[in-house]
Homo-oligomer: A and B are copies of this chain.
Amino acid sequence: MLLRKADVVEGALKFLDTEGLDKLTMRKLGAALNVHGGALYRHFPNKAALLEAMANKLTEGVGVPLPEAPWRDQIYVLGQRFRTAMLAHRDGARLVSGTHATGANSITAGSLVVDVLCGAGLAPAQAGSLAFSLYYYVLGHTLDEQNQAYTPEEEWQSGENQLASTLSPRYAEAFASLMNTDPAERFAYGLNTFIEGVASRIPHS
């Protein structure tokens, strides 16, 4: 029953799906792997390293080579890939957001974005800046989506809605319509809006 590093990461991601990130503790994960909590330190120097390895595993596919296409489509695909990867596991976005994103996968993905944007006509400095902007948007959106998915409906209702409607009828309408549209649709809308912003930065296009 000896464990390897990859077994621990795999088991941790499985644990994540069934129990959630809040319950992922070294002792409980150990128990799920039929091992004491302390034994996990033979494979990872600390919990943060485990979480980083999990996040890295989660975003594995994001940086694979892109099919030839116009730059807008390529950026769109990269954003969609990143979101889909995080949604593949419960609390995936929170897991990724909590790590330092210093893993190999985020680097290859980031360099892909930069390459695409440079190919579109942007200077490297601007491409890098906008690559991070894209990252913030996708991560933030997916984080919100996933939090609401696992949050009881009532809680959101109580806090936001009642205050909103007394404050600004337009805000109430906007908020209500947000709750009624598919998150994937909202995500795509924001992603394309971002892409149009990027387009405005490209010289003479």
Contacts and interface: CB of A to CB of B under 8 A. Distances in A.
Interface stretch (A11-19, A29-37, A120-128): A120-128
A136 interface: yes
Contacts of A190: 129-130, 132-133
Interface string A146-161: 0100000001100110
A126 B189 contact: yes
A133 B137 CA distance: 6
Given A124-B170, A193-B200, A178 B114 contact: no
Contacts of A118: 170, 174
B141 A132 contact: yes
Given A124-B177, A195-B197, A141 B133 contact: yes
If over half of A's interface residues share one DSSP class (helix, strand or loop), that class is named, otherwise mixed; here it is: helix
Contact of A124 (B147, B155, B160, B174): B174
Interface of A: 97, 100, 102, 104, 107-108, 110-111, 114-115, 118, 124-133, 135-137, 139-141, 144, 147, 155-156, 159-160, 163-164, 167-168, 170-171, 173-175, 177-178, 181, 186, 189-190, 193-201
Given A128-B174, A139-B140, 19 more contacts: A107-B164, A111-B164, A111-B167, A114-B168, A124-B177, A125-B177, A128-B177, A130-B190, A131-B174, A132-B178, A132-B186, A133-B190, A133-B194, A136-B136, A137-B137, A193-B194, A194-B197, A196-B200, A197-B197
